[in-house]
Amino acid sequence: MTSALSNPGRAAALPAPRATDPGAFGRVAVVMGGQSSEREVSLDSGRNVLAALRARGIDAHAVDGIPALLDALRAGHYARVFNILHGQHGGGEDGVLQGALESLHVPYTGSGVLGSALSMDKIRSKQVWIAERLPTPRFVPLRRGAGRAGVAAAADELGLPVIVKPASEGSSVGISRVFRAEDLAAAAELAARYPGDLLVEELIEGDELTVAVLGGVALPSIRIVPKGAFYDYHAKYVAEDTQYLCPGLEGEAEAAIGALALAAFQALGCSGWGRVDVMRDRQGRNFLLEVNTAPGMTSHSLVPKAAATLGIGFEELCWRVLETSFAPAAGEGAP
Active site residues: 38, 171, 237, 275, 277, 290, 292, 296
User: Distance between CA 29 and CA 79 in Å, rounded?
Assistant: 8
* φ, ψ for residue 68, nearest 5 deg: -65, -40
